[in-house]
Amino acid sequence: MDLLLWFEYIGTFVFAISGTLTAADKRLDFFGATVAGFVTAIGGGTMRDLLLGDTPVAWMRTNNYFWVIIAAVVVTIIFRKHVMKLKRTLFLFDTIGIATFTLLGLKKALLFNIDPAMAVLMGMSSAVVGGVIRDILCNEVPLIFHREIYATACIAGALIYLVLNRLGVSELICETATVLSIVAIRIVAIRFNIALPRLINQKE
Amino acid sequence: MDLLLWFEYIGTFVFAISGTLTAADKRLDFFGATVAGFVTAIGGGTMRDLLLGDTPVAWMRTNNYFWVIIAAVVVTIIFRKHVMKLKRTLFLFDTIGIATFTLLGLKKALLFNIDPAMAVLMGMSSAVVGGVIRDILCNEVPLIFHREIYATACIAGALIYLVLNRLGVSELICETATVLSIVAIRIVAIRFNIALPRLINQKE
Amino acid sequence: MDLLLWFEYIGTFVFAISGTLTAADKRLDFFGATVAGFVTAIGGGTMRDLLLGDTPVAWMRTNNYFWVIIAAVVVTIIFRKHVMKLKRTLFLFDTIGIATFTLLGLKKALLFNIDPAMAVLMGMSSAVVGGVIRDILCNEVPLIFHREIYATACIAGALIYLVLNRLGVSELICETATVLSIVAIRIVAIRFNIALPRLINQKE
């Protein structure tokens, strides 16, 4: 659990970086970049807590997320050129981030007696909604809607947790398997350029 | 009430279809289409429950909505060409959907002791917010903002409910009159191509 | 406090006007304009109450906001040309509005035992989120992200409140100083055309 908390901060940090970079792409000012960093980092958790009715929402109950995000925004703005070269490292951290957020969202939903099918949805949404809000704020069709395997990996990981959990496997192993499988699926998808097929309205 | 529940599932099903079709128009992938189906179907009810503070939100407390939506998305993706030819049937179901959602939103707000004026707003929003989110996700100015009578029909229906209810008319008749009047107003508006006038900032 | 309530209605009124005008710019119909007026006026307070878990949200518990907004929308639509010439008056009222909303958001967050750093965030968001939603609905990158000092003034005002409050200054003076400083910062920023620097991803 302690490790999970570390992972959560890493995820928050990396999500904030991604928000800030997107904002810079759109030529937003410092304030806009900070906001983009914030909503990307906390968007998923906020939606999770609002839907479950667990208020005030988690990130408002402690100062930690606040400072992690501020740190990420400042680092990104100051070391922009360097940060952008770290694509590969960022990708790994981002993947750890979505894996962790999926796990936390799933577990919290189960704790609130939400049915497993919906809890899986909740886990996945916790991971991806921040990025969706980021893209809406920047006036783009959310990246996640036309992109390599991403939310799908979260769903797969959440399902693996549920299956192992029902088989009576220990919590630690369930969690480890979930995080590792999400990371693995995403890496394989990127590596071999796997994507979901697009829908096209044939009009010929 | 039992009939109302059936109507609600029909509305959910049709809203999910409309979301999926819009996503296909935007060339989103399968995942994006599913998400668009979901948010269109549950967006209104989610906003209603969040504003009222009735959490976890209604659609998370049962599996039914989940499966209705999944079914709608799958059917739409598989039978896309056929679904698109059913415009007229879909239109009727969609209208039954917004009428039902309006009624449910209105009644729930009144149950939470919300003032009638605001309860009417709540009824209308429950019906239309799903479509607004769908359009925002797909990066368009929400259809509802420049379209034939739609939300206006919901408001009219909600007002009719309130008037009949205050006159002491039985619940069943109030509900029937509300649903029928919303359906009738929309059909007449479409038939005779009635729309609200546009605002223009004269700059000549 | 009584004065603060008046300020809140003034802010609500002016925000509703700004939403309606933006909608007119986008050639929305009357309904769209009304919705834009509403969300601009109540967006910030809604987010504040949802995040804190204070539901039903404040504006639904009384009819007052409803009628203030309706009045603003009607006035704007009828006297459009005249309203647009009042830019300077509107600007002053808008500034009083964000100052008041910041103060109310900040105080409510502190009342809910939110940590000061987050309470400042909450105050600022209460003031600016309505405008952000307005811009998203109208399919634009939110104005606030590439604009003169605005949210920054709210943050500064909120910090001033916290400092004075900790120094033991009386509530009335704290509140007055907060509102006046936000108004002053904004006027100075506009007057001398001060803005935050933009982020640019150097790609040369």
**A198 belongs to a structural domain:** no
Answer whether C118 sits within 8 Å of A23, measured CB to CB.
Answer: no
- Show which residues on chain B lie within 8 Å of chain A, measured between beta carbons: 20-21, 23-33, 35-36, 46, 50, 53, 55-57, 59-63, 66, 77, 80-81, 84, 136-139
* Peptide bond connecting B116 to the previous residue in cis, omega within 30 degrees of 0: no
Concatenated DSSP letters for A169-197?
Answer: --HHHHHHHHHHHHHHHHHHHHHTT-BPP
Is the pLDDT at B203 greater than 50, yes or no?
no
- Helix (H/G/I), strand (E/B), else coil: B71: helix
Q: Which residue has the higher pLDDT, A7 or A148?
A: A7
Distances (CA, A) of C190 to B100, C161, C183, C193: 49, 23, 11, 5
Is the pLDDT at B147 greater than 80, yes or no?
no
Query: What are the chain B neighbours of C59 within 8 Å (beta carbons)?
Result: 118
Mean pLDDT across the stretch C37-46?
92
Is the pLDDT at C203 greater than 60, yes or no?
no
Answer whether A51 sits within 8 Å of B55, measured CB to CB.
Answer: yes
CB atoms within 10 A of CB B132: 23
Query: What local confidence, expressed as pLDDT, does residue A198 receive?
Result: 62
Query: What local confidence, expressed as pLDDT, does residue B204 receive?
Result: 34
Rounded-to-integer distance, Cα A146 and Cα A130, Å: 16
Write the residue in A50, A109, A196 that is nearest to B29 by C-beta.
A196
Mean pLDDT of chain C: 85
Rounded-to-integer distance, Cα B184 and Cα B173, Å: 16
- Searching chain A, which residue's CA lies closest to the CA of residue B35? A145
Convert the pLDDT of each residue in C177-196 to its tens digit.
999 999 999 888 888 877 66
Q: In this structure, are residues B41 and B64 in contact, taking their beta carbons and an 8 Å threshold?
A: no
**B197 belongs to a structural domain:** no
Convert the pLDDT of each residue in C126-176 to its tens digit.
999 988 888 887 777 776 666 667 888 999 999 999 999 999 999 999 999
Query: What local confidence, expressed as pLDDT, does residue A91 receive?
Result: 80
Query: What local confidence, expressed as pLDDT, does residue A203 receive?
Result: 43
Query: What local confidence, expressed as pLDDT, does residue B200 receive?
Result: 55
Is the pLDDT at C204 greater than 50, yes or no?
no
ipTM: 0.81
Q: Which residue has the higher pLDDT, A107 or C83?
A: A107
pLDDT band at B71 (very low <50, low <70, confident <90, very high): very high
Tokens 């009828």 sit at which residue? C78
Q: In this structure, are residues C19 and C38 in contact, taking their beta carbons and an 8 Å threshold?
A: yes
Burial C55-91 (b: 16+ CB within 10 A, else e): bbbbbbbeeebbebbeebbebbbeebeebbeeeeebe
Tell me the residue type at B38.
Answer: F
Helix or strand run (H / E) with residue A166 = helix A151-166
**B199 belongs to a structural domain:** no
Answer whether A81 sits within 8 Å of C136, measured CB to CB.
Answer: no
Concatenated DSSP letters for A70-88?
Answer: HHHHHHHHHTHHHHHHTHH
Q: In this structure, are residues B44 and B100 in contact, taking their beta carbons and an 8 Å threshold?
A: no
Tell me the residue type at B27.
Answer: R
- Helix (H/G/I), strand (E/B), else coil: B29: strand
Is the pLDDT at B79 greater than 70, yes or no?
yes
Mean pLDDT across the stretch A68-88?
86
Query: What local confidence, expressed as pLDDT, does residue A25 receive?
Result: 78
- Searching chain A, which residue's CA lies closest to the CA of residue B55? A53
**A169 belongs to a structural domain:** yes
Answer whether C118 sits within 8 Å of A80, measured CB to CB.
Answer: no
- Searching chain A, which residue's CA lies closest to the CA of residue B47? A51
**B139 belongs to a structural domain:** yes
Mean pLDDT across the stretch A169-190?
91
Is the pLDDT at A2 greater than 80, yes or no?
no
Distance between B87 CA and the closest CA of chain C, angstroms: 25
Query: What local confidence, expressed as pLDDT, does residue A202 receive?
Result: 44
Rounded-to-integer distance, Cα B17 and Cα B90, Å: 9
Rounded-to-integer distance, Cα A169 and Cα A43, Å: 31
Q: Helix count (H) and strand count (E) of chain B?
A: 8, 0
**A83 belongs to a structural domain:** yes
Mean pLDDT across the stretch B155-168?
95
- Searching chain C, which residue's CA lies closest to the CA of residue B150? C31
Is the pLDDT at B202 greater than 60, yes or no?
no
Mean pLDDT across the stretch C61-81?
90
In chain A the first and final C-alpha atoms are separated, in Å, by: 55
Tell me the residue type at C79.
Answer: F
Is the pLDDT at B179 greater than 80, yes or no?
yes
Answer whether B66 sits within 8 Å of A136, measured CB to CB.
Answer: no
Answer whether A137 sits within 8 Å of C140, measured CB to CB.
Answer: no
Q: In this structure, are residues A12 and A4 in contact, taking their beta carbons and an 8 Å threshold?
A: no
**C25 belongs to a structural domain:** yes
The number of distinct structural domains making up chain A is: 1
Q: In this structure, are residues A116 and A110 in contact, taking their beta carbons and an 8 Å threshold?
A: yes
Answer whether A29 sits within 8 Å of C198, measured CB to CB.
Answer: yes
Query: What local confidence, expressed as pLDDT, does residue A5 receive?
Result: 81
Query: What local confidence, expressed as pLDDT, does residue A104 receive?
Result: 92
Answer whether C66 sits within 8 Å of B117, measured CB to CB.
Answer: yes
Pick the closest to residue C5 from C83, C74, C91, C68 (CA basis): C68
Is the pLDDT at A106 greater than 90, yes or no?
yes
Mean pLDDT across the stretch A45-64?
91
Answer whether B23 sits within 8 Å of A195, measured CB to CB.
Answer: no
Is the pLDDT at B124 greater than 50, yes or no?
yes
Tell me the residue type at A103.
Answer: L
Q: Which residue has the higher pLDDT, B80 or C103?
A: C103
- Searching chain B, which residue's CA lies closest to the CA of residue C66? B118
**C137 belongs to a structural domain:** yes
* Domain hosting residue B48, numbered range: 2-191
Distance between C74 CA and the closest CA of chain B, angstroms: 12
Distance between A123 CA and the closest CA of chain B, angstroms: 13
Query: What are the chain C neighbours of B109 within 8 Å (beta carbons)?
Result: 60
Range with lowest mean pLDDT among A102-111, B22-31, B75-84: B22-31
* Peptide bond connecting B56 to the previous residue in cis, omega within 30 degrees of 0: yes
Answer whether A144 sits within 8 Å of B27, measured CB to CB.
Answer: no
